[in-house]
Amino acid sequence: MSNYIIAGANSEIGRALAKHLADNGHNLMLVSRSRKDSGFLSGCTWLDGIDLTDEYCLKALKQEVERRFDYPFNYIHSVGDFWKHKDILNTDLAEVKDMIISHYITLFYAIKAIVPVMRAVNGGRIIAFSCNSVKYNYPEMAAFTSAKAAVECLIKCIANEQSKFNITANAFALPSVKTESVIKTKPEEFHRDYITSDELAESIENTVENLSPYINGTVINIIKYSDSFYHKGYYERNIIWSD
Protein backbone atom coordinates (compact mmCIF):
# COMPACT_ATOMS: atom_id res chain seq x y z
CA MET A 1 0.00 0.00 0.00
CA SER A 2 1.07 3.60 -0.61
CA ASN A 3 1.82 6.49 1.73
CA TYR A 4 -0.35 9.59 1.60
CA ILE A 5 -0.37 12.99 3.23
CA ILE A 6 -3.73 14.74 2.87
CA ALA A 7 -3.74 18.44 3.67
CA GLY A 8 -7.23 19.79 4.25
CA ALA A 9 -8.33 16.45 5.66
CA ASN A 10 -11.34 18.04 7.34
CA SER A 11 -12.69 19.48 4.08
CA GLU A 12 -15.61 17.68 2.43
CA ILE A 13 -13.42 16.27 -0.35
CA GLY A 14 -10.51 15.67 2.03
CA ARG A 15 -12.65 13.61 4.39
CA ALA A 16 -14.07 11.48 1.56
CA LEU A 17 -10.59 10.91 0.17
CA ALA A 18 -9.13 10.05 3.58
CA LYS A 19 -11.88 7.55 4.34
CA HIS A 20 -11.57 5.88 0.93
CA LEU A 21 -7.78 5.56 1.15
CA ALA A 22 -7.93 4.32 4.74
CA ASP A 23 -10.55 1.71 3.81
CA ASN A 24 -8.19 0.47 1.09
CA GLY A 25 -5.33 0.04 3.52
CA HIS A 26 -3.11 2.98 2.59
CA ASN A 27 -0.83 4.59 5.16
CA LEU A 28 -2.21 8.06 5.93
CA MET A 29 -1.01 11.24 7.58
CA LEU A 30 -3.89 13.71 7.85
CA VAL A 31 -3.24 17.45 8.12
CA SER A 32 -5.84 20.09 8.96
CA ARG A 33 -6.08 23.65 10.20
CA SER A 34 -9.18 22.86 12.25
CA ARG A 35 -9.09 20.46 15.15
CA LYS A 36 -9.56 16.84 14.21
CA ASP A 37 -12.93 15.23 14.68
CA SER A 38 -12.31 12.58 17.32
CA GLY A 39 -14.89 10.33 15.69
CA PHE A 40 -13.33 10.47 12.22
CA LEU A 41 -10.50 8.05 11.36
CA SER A 42 -9.17 8.08 14.90
CA GLY A 43 -6.69 5.35 14.01
CA CYS A 44 -4.79 7.54 11.53
CA THR A 45 -1.95 9.92 12.26
CA TRP A 46 -3.30 13.46 12.55
CA LEU A 47 -1.45 16.75 12.51
CA ASP A 48 -4.13 19.32 13.26
CA GLY A 49 -3.96 23.01 14.06
CA ILE A 50 -1.70 23.49 11.03
CA ASP A 51 -2.02 26.83 9.24
CA LEU A 52 -0.17 26.44 5.95
CA THR A 53 0.57 30.17 5.84
CA ASP A 54 2.32 30.16 9.21
CA GLU A 55 6.09 29.61 9.34
CA TYR A 56 5.99 27.77 12.68
CA CYS A 57 3.26 25.40 11.42
CA LEU A 58 5.16 24.74 8.19
CA LYS A 59 8.24 23.83 10.22
CA ALA A 60 6.14 21.46 12.34
CA LEU A 61 4.72 19.88 9.18
CA LYS A 62 8.16 19.34 7.71
CA GLN A 63 9.49 17.83 10.93
CA GLU A 64 6.57 15.41 11.22
CA VAL A 65 6.92 14.34 7.58
CA GLU A 66 10.67 13.78 8.12
CA ARG A 67 9.94 11.71 11.21
CA ARG A 68 7.20 9.69 9.55
CA PHE A 69 8.55 8.89 6.07
CA ASP A 70 11.86 7.44 4.95
CA TYR A 71 10.49 6.35 1.56
CA PRO A 72 8.52 8.10 -1.24
CA PHE A 73 5.06 9.40 -0.45
CA ASN A 74 2.10 11.16 -2.08
CA TYR A 75 1.04 14.64 -0.99
CA ILE A 76 -2.56 15.68 -1.78
CA HIS A 77 -3.51 19.33 -1.28
CA SER A 78 -7.26 19.59 -0.61
CA VAL A 79 -7.19 23.15 0.71
CA GLY A 80 -9.03 26.31 -0.33
CA ASP A 81 -12.07 28.50 0.26
CA PHE A 82 -15.38 27.68 -1.42
CA TRP A 83 -16.22 29.77 -4.50
CA LYS A 84 -19.09 32.24 -4.76
CA HIS A 85 -20.83 33.56 -7.87
CA LYS A 86 -19.94 37.24 -7.89
CA ASP A 87 -18.86 39.61 -10.61
CA ILE A 88 -15.69 41.64 -10.12
CA LEU A 89 -17.46 44.79 -8.97
CA ASN A 90 -19.28 42.89 -6.23
CA THR A 91 -16.23 40.95 -5.04
CA ASP A 92 -14.59 42.44 -1.97
CA LEU A 93 -10.83 42.94 -2.11
CA ALA A 94 -10.45 40.95 1.10
CA GLU A 95 -12.32 38.06 -0.51
CA VAL A 96 -9.94 38.08 -3.50
CA LYS A 97 -6.94 38.05 -1.19
CA ASP A 98 -8.34 35.20 0.90
CA MET A 99 -9.09 33.15 -2.21
CA ILE A 100 -5.55 33.50 -3.53
CA ILE A 101 -4.03 32.74 -0.14
CA SER A 102 -6.22 29.71 0.56
CA HIS A 103 -5.73 28.03 -2.82
CA TYR A 104 -2.37 29.19 -4.17
CA ILE A 105 -0.24 30.46 -1.28
CA THR A 106 -0.99 27.45 0.93
CA LEU A 107 0.06 25.13 -1.90
CA PHE A 108 3.27 27.06 -2.58
CA TYR A 109 4.24 27.09 1.09
CA ALA A 110 3.35 23.41 1.62
CA ILE A 111 5.41 22.37 -1.40
CA LYS A 112 8.34 24.42 -0.15
CA ALA A 113 8.11 22.56 3.18
CA ILE A 114 7.79 19.00 1.85
CA VAL A 115 9.98 18.99 -1.28
CA PRO A 116 13.23 18.76 0.75
CA VAL A 117 11.83 15.64 2.41
CA MET A 118 10.79 14.17 -0.93
CA ARG A 119 14.29 14.75 -2.25
CA ALA A 120 15.77 13.03 0.79
CA VAL A 121 13.59 9.93 0.34
CA ASN A 122 14.17 9.76 -3.42
CA GLY A 123 10.89 11.09 -4.71
CA GLY A 124 7.19 11.47 -4.35
CA ARG A 125 4.02 12.74 -5.97
CA ILE A 126 2.37 16.13 -5.44
CA ILE A 127 -1.34 16.33 -6.28
CA ALA A 128 -3.33 19.58 -6.24
CA PHE A 129 -6.92 20.37 -7.17
CA SER A 130 -7.84 22.81 -9.90
CA CYS A 131 -11.24 23.32 -11.53
CA ASN A 132 -12.69 23.13 -15.02
CA SER A 133 -13.54 26.83 -14.66
CA VAL A 134 -9.91 27.55 -15.60
CA LYS A 135 -10.57 26.02 -19.01
CA TYR A 136 -13.99 27.57 -19.57
CA ASN A 137 -13.41 30.95 -17.87
CA TYR A 138 -16.90 31.13 -16.39
CA PRO A 139 -18.08 34.64 -15.53
CA GLU A 140 -18.78 35.60 -11.91
CA MET A 141 -16.00 33.30 -10.66
CA ALA A 142 -12.93 35.44 -11.38
CA ALA A 143 -11.35 35.36 -7.91
CA PHE A 144 -11.64 31.59 -7.56
CA THR A 145 -10.71 30.78 -11.17
CA SER A 146 -7.65 33.05 -11.13
CA ALA A 147 -6.42 31.34 -7.96
CA LYS A 148 -6.90 27.91 -9.55
CA ALA A 149 -5.07 29.06 -12.69
CA ALA A 150 -2.16 29.99 -10.44
CA VAL A 151 -2.33 26.50 -8.91
CA GLU A 152 -2.03 24.92 -12.36
CA CYS A 153 0.92 27.13 -13.28
CA LEU A 154 2.69 26.34 -10.00
CA ILE A 155 2.20 22.60 -10.50
CA LYS A 156 3.75 22.78 -13.98
CA CYS A 157 6.70 24.82 -12.69
CA ILE A 158 7.35 22.38 -9.85
CA ALA A 159 7.13 19.44 -12.26
CA ASN A 160 9.79 20.92 -14.52
CA GLU A 161 11.98 21.99 -11.64
CA GLN A 162 11.84 18.88 -9.45
CA SER A 163 11.51 16.00 -11.95
CA LYS A 164 15.25 15.34 -11.77
CA PHE A 165 14.70 14.38 -8.12
CA ASN A 166 12.03 11.79 -9.03
CA ILE A 167 9.26 14.17 -7.92
CA THR A 168 6.11 14.55 -10.00
CA ALA A 169 3.46 17.24 -9.69
CA ASN A 170 0.02 17.05 -11.30
CA ALA A 171 -3.35 18.74 -10.86
CA PHE A 172 -6.88 17.39 -11.09
CA ALA A 173 -9.33 19.78 -12.78
CA LEU A 174 -12.52 19.00 -10.92
CA PRO A 175 -16.08 19.43 -12.18
CA SER A 176 -18.84 20.33 -9.72
CA VAL A 177 -18.69 17.76 -6.95
CA LYS A 178 -21.82 16.75 -5.06
CA THR A 179 -20.78 18.07 -1.68
CA GLU A 180 -23.16 19.64 0.82
CA SER A 181 -21.76 23.07 -0.05
CA VAL A 182 -22.50 22.60 -3.75
CA ILE A 183 -25.95 21.14 -3.13
CA LYS A 184 -26.92 24.33 -1.28
CA THR A 185 -26.00 26.50 -4.27
CA LYS A 186 -27.57 24.67 -7.22
CA PRO A 187 -30.94 23.13 -8.08
CA GLU A 188 -31.44 19.39 -7.78
CA GLU A 189 -31.88 18.91 -11.53
CA PHE A 190 -28.17 19.71 -11.91
CA HIS A 191 -26.44 18.29 -8.85
CA ARG A 192 -28.24 14.95 -8.96
CA ASP A 193 -25.87 14.00 -11.80
CA TYR A 194 -22.70 15.47 -10.33
CA ILE A 195 -19.80 13.27 -9.36
CA THR A 196 -20.02 12.33 -5.69
CA SER A 197 -17.19 12.73 -3.21
CA ASP A 198 -16.84 8.95 -3.02
CA GLU A 199 -16.64 8.61 -6.81
CA LEU A 200 -14.05 11.37 -6.89
CA ALA A 201 -11.99 9.70 -4.18
CA GLU A 202 -12.01 6.41 -6.09
CA SER A 203 -10.96 8.08 -9.35
CA ILE A 204 -8.12 9.94 -7.65
CA GLU A 205 -6.80 6.79 -5.98
CA ASN A 206 -6.97 4.83 -9.26
CA THR A 207 -5.18 7.60 -11.13
CA VAL A 208 -2.48 8.27 -8.55
CA GLU A 209 -1.73 4.59 -7.99
CA ASN A 210 -1.21 4.10 -11.72
CA LEU A 211 0.60 7.33 -12.58
CA SER A 212 3.67 6.79 -14.70
CA PRO A 213 6.70 8.85 -13.60
CA TYR A 214 6.56 10.35 -17.08
CA ILE A 215 3.09 11.79 -16.40
CA ASN A 216 4.26 15.04 -14.91
CA GLY A 217 3.14 18.65 -14.99
CA THR A 218 -0.29 17.74 -16.33
CA VAL A 219 -3.83 18.88 -15.62
CA ILE A 220 -5.99 15.77 -15.41
CA ASN A 221 -9.65 16.38 -16.23
CA ILE A 222 -12.36 14.51 -14.36
CA ILE A 223 -15.77 14.59 -16.03
CA LYS A 224 -19.05 12.91 -15.18
CA TYR A 225 -21.62 13.57 -17.86
CA SER A 226 -24.83 15.33 -16.82
CA ASP A 227 -27.61 15.58 -19.38
CA SER A 228 -29.31 18.44 -17.55
CA PHE A 229 -26.07 20.37 -17.04
CA TYR A 230 -24.29 20.00 -20.36
CA HIS A 231 -27.35 20.70 -22.51
CA LYS A 232 -27.74 24.19 -21.06
CA GLY A 233 -25.41 27.16 -21.33
CA TYR A 234 -23.82 28.92 -18.39
CA TYR A 235 -26.12 31.93 -18.46
CA GLU A 236 -29.22 29.78 -18.68
CA ARG A 237 -28.10 27.83 -15.62
CA ASN A 238 -27.11 30.98 -13.78
CA ILE A 239 -30.61 32.45 -14.16
CA ILE A 240 -31.99 29.34 -12.46
CA TRP A 241 -29.46 29.63 -9.63
CA SER A 242 -30.43 33.22 -8.90
CA ASP A 243 -34.18 32.58 -8.75
pLDDT of residue 243: 45
The answer to whether 3 and 26 are in contact (CB under 8 A) is yes
β-sheet bridge partners, residue 219? 171
User: Which of 15, 6, 107 has the alpha carbon at shortest distance from 65?
Assistant: 6
* CA-based torsion, 202, 204, 209, 215: positive or negative: positive
The pLDDT, as a whole number, for residue 236 is 63
pLDDT attached to residue 43: 77
What type of residue is 117?
V
The tens place of each residue's pLDDT in the chain, 243 residues long, gives 899 999 999 999 999 999 999 999 999 999 999 888 767 887 788 999 999 999 999 999 999 999 999 999 999 999 999 888 889 999 999 999 999 999 999 999 999 999 999 999 999 999 999 998 899 888 889 999 999 999 999 999 999 999 999 999 999 999 888 888 777 777 666 677 788 888 899 999 999 999 898 999 999 998 877 676 666 666 666 554 444
In angstroms, rounded to a whole number, what is the distance separating the alpha carbons of residues 96 and 76?
A: 24
DSSP bridge pairs for 169: 126
Query: Which domains, and CATH codes, for the chain?
Result: 3-178+196-227 (3.40.50.720)
How far is it, in rounded angstroms, from Cα 153 to Cα 38?
Answer: 36
Contacts of 138 by beta carbon, 8 Å cutoff, 6+ apart: 145, 234
Q: Which is nearest to 101 in space by CA: 142, 140, 58, 151?
A: 151
Q: At what angle do helices 106-120 and 142-162 cross, to 10 degrees?
A: 20
Strand ordering across the sheet containing 45-47: 45-47, 27-31, 3-7, 73-77, 124-131, 167-174, 219-221
Residue 162 has a pLDDT of: 97
Q: What is the pLDDT of residue 178?
A: 80
pLDDT for the residue numbered 233: 65
pLDDT, position 23 = 93
